[in-house]
Structure 1
Amino acid sequence: MERLDPHPVTGEPLPSPVPPGAGWPGDPAGPATPVATTPARVRRLAASAPDVPELQARISVCRACPRLVRWREDVARTGRRAAFADQPYWGRPGPSFGDPDAEVLLVGLAPAANGTNRTGRMFTGDSSGDFLWAALHRTGFAAQPTSVAAGDGQALSGLRIVAAVRCAPPANKPTPAERACCAPWLERDLELAAPRLRAVLCLGSIGWDAALGAARSLGWDVPRPKPRFGHAVEVPLGLPDGRSVRLVGCYHVSPHNTFTRRLTPEMLDDVLLGLRG
């Protein structure tokens, strides 16, 4: 029999993973939200999403990649870290978080098993997120220097966080097929943001490649040969209306980079501040 956990706000019993419409703070989906169960259905549901809230609702209930669905839900039920044993887990794909009218999109890799997969918010509940949110606050994008849990009052202005893959993958390594299946969600994120979009910040080479692929699929003008990822590397992406969007690279905020000081707070601040120009 599945154990019921208390809801973080109401205290009422809540099954884990969190079902759509259960009252989790910030949950964009409801019981009637259409569910993608195949790559073809991902493409259809992404392309037909009329706005950012509906797109995120559909993302948050996606079940198109069996390996990722099994992994994220197994972690939510039995693979929890001891420190979080008594907490409810989101256990679903991570929807974007931030300003729906943002002029900047930040593209990450994928949710962490005990971070986004636990809290339901991108880059929340792990050390990578701690590093990123502190910088977002210092540079004026975030209302608070920490992001602990859904419903904690955190907000973003002018920036929205998305990802190349929306489910927590085993060993933080989605397969090429899983990346391809998830790509239409990012394509639609870019398409909906395009009228206001000025810049796309990519954390790591996977985010960089995903953003380039999405832009190319949308018919945007992408430089050839494919630009190589690097920290603070910047290339223009041409939009069909004649405007250009800045694609900017940044080392990922993973502990591997931050603990070794390959990426320092000052380096991240410089990149974020540069997005305002």
Structure 2
Amino acid sequence: MDSDGRDGLGGLDRLDERVAGCRACPRLVAWREEVARTKRAAFADWTYWGRPVPGFGPPDARLLIVGLAPAAHGGNRTGRMFTGDRSGDVLYQALYDVGLASQPTAVSADDGLELRGARVTSPVHCAPPANKPTPEERDTCRPWLVRELNLLRPTLRAVVVLGAFGWQAALPAFAEAGWTVPRPRPAFAHGARVVLDGPAGPAGPRDTGSAALHLFGCFHVSQRNTFTGRLTPVMLREVLRTAAEAAGLYGTK
């Protein structure tokens, strides 16, 4: 471990570099690169990112938002989580509405968007065919999320998980990062709220160590959910605002 208490990866910037260079899952590598070559007609003039997409947001985030995986013509095209697709349109508008984003749109990695006290990541960093990673791919990618959690530990106080897949993928990562996940594992539901006790500090159980983590469930911002009204902007804002309050973020609208 580094002298500053981090896990030896050189901080989130170094972790993001390592994530972007990963080639661990042959099916995902082949798919993301094929999409980047063939493109979608509407984006024919784009040079696609075509690599794993790292997390996005400040290194001292108090709130983490965990999705599923990058979209083939969204994050896989732009190189930034939830950027350039309709799911991102919904998410960043809501983040802006509650004061956690500097602007309501996310179209490219250089569009000037900044997150305020929040970071966005996924349990799977490559765009998967049909938006469905396999359980093996999910598990192979988990160490990246565990390392991200370890690096965010000093400030992280709340997490919003989008969708059941993300929930199932994230719970083992929280456990590996040292938080206590209840048994039986809590079930996913929109509006679910679970408090995960933090790891004991280096002096043992009497040392409070890391703070507890407030975990929130939210329906995913997929087109299927938002077009059908299963997830409305009001519902999304409510979860984000509640999570921001639990994280101790002030100035939210």
Q: Mark yes or no: TM-score above 0.5.
A: yes
Between the aligned partners of 1:196 and 1:245, the Cα distance in structure 2 is 10
Q: Give the secondary structure class of the aligned counterpart of 2:33.
A: helix
Between the aligned partners of 1:267 and 1:212, the Cα distance in structure 2 is 23
Match of 1:257 in 2: 225
Q: Which one of the candidate residues 182, 185, 190 is aligned to 2:144?
A: 185
Between the aligned partners of 2:63 and 2:110, the Cα distance in structure 1 is 23
Judge conservation of contact 1:102–1:193 (CA < 8 Å) in 2: yes
Judge conservation of contact 1:69–1:167 (CA < 8 Å) in 2: yes
Consecutive unaligned residues in structure 2, runs of 5 or more: 1-6, 201-207, 246-253
State the 4+ residue runs in structure 1 displaced beyond 2 angstroms.
none
How large is the RMSD of aligned CA atoms in angstroms?
1.2
Deviation for aligned residue 1:50: 2.9
Judge conservation of contact 1:164–1:206 (CA < 8 Å) in 2: no
Between the aligned partners of 1:58 and 1:175, the Cα distance in structure 2 is 22
Consecutive unaligned residues in structure 1, runs of 5 or more: 1-46
Between the aligned partners of 2:107 and 2:182, the Cα distance in structure 1 is 39
Judge conservation of contact 1:97–1:160 (CA < 8 Å) in 2: yes
Between the aligned partners of 1:182 and 1:127, the Cα distance in structure 2 is 25
Between the aligned partners of 1:138 and 1:219, the Cα distance in structure 2 is 33
Q: Which one of the candidate residues 96, 120, 135 is aligned to 1:176?
A: 135
Between the aligned partners of 1:245 and 1:55, the Cα distance in structure 2 is 22
Residue 77 (1) aligns with residue 37 (2): yes
Task: Spell out, residue by residue over 1:91-137, the C-alpha distance to the aligned partner (whole angstroms, 9 max, x if none).
Answer: 00001111111001100100000000000010011111101110010
Deviation for aligned residue 1:48: 4.1
Match of 2:248 in 1: none
Match of 1:155 in 2: 114
Task: Spell out, residue by residue over 1:247-269, the C-alpha distance to the aligned partner (whole angstroms, 9 max, x if none).
Answer: 10000000100000000000001
Judge conservation of contact 1:133–1:145 (CA < 8 Å) in 2: yes
Deviation for aligned residue 1:212: 0.7
Task: Spell out, residue by residue over 1:67-104, the C-alpha distance to the aligned partner (whole angstroms, 9 max, x if none).
Answer: 100100000001x1110011110000001111111001
| Aligned-partner residue type, residue 28 of structure 2 | L
Between the aligned partners of 2:131 and 2:43, the Cα distance in structure 1 is 19
Q: Which one of the candidate residues 185, 209, 214 is aligned to 1:226?
A: 185
TM-score (norm 2): 0.89
Match of 1:202 in 2: 161
Between the aligned partners of 2:141 and 2:8, the Cα distance in structure 1 is 15
Between the aligned partners of 1:252 and 1:196, the Cα distance in structure 2 is 25
Percent of residue pairs identical: 58
Match of 1:27 in 2: none
Between the aligned partners of 1:118 and 1:163, the Cα distance in structure 2 is 16
Judge conservation of contact 1:201–1:247 (CA < 8 Å) in 2: yes
Between the aligned partners of 1:56 and 1:129, the Cα distance in structure 2 is 20
Task: Spell out, residue by residue over 1:181-225, the C-alpha distance to the aligned partner (whole angstroms, 9 max, x if none).
Answer: 100000011111111111011000111112211011223211110
Task: Spell out, residue by residue over 1:207-244, the C-alpha distance to the aligned partner (whole angstroms, 9 max, x if none).
Answer: 11122110112232111101000011010111114431
Match of 2:66 in 1: 107
Q: Which one of the candidate residues 5, 9, 18 is aligned to 1:58?
A: 18
| Aligned-partner residue type, residue 136 of structure 1 | L
Deviation for aligned residue 1:276: 2.2
Between the aligned partners of 1:259 and 1:57, the Cα distance in structure 2 is 35
TM-score (norm 1): 0.81
| Aligned-partner residue type, residue 152 of structure 1 | D
Judge conservation of contact 1:238–1:244 (CA < 8 Å) in 2: yes
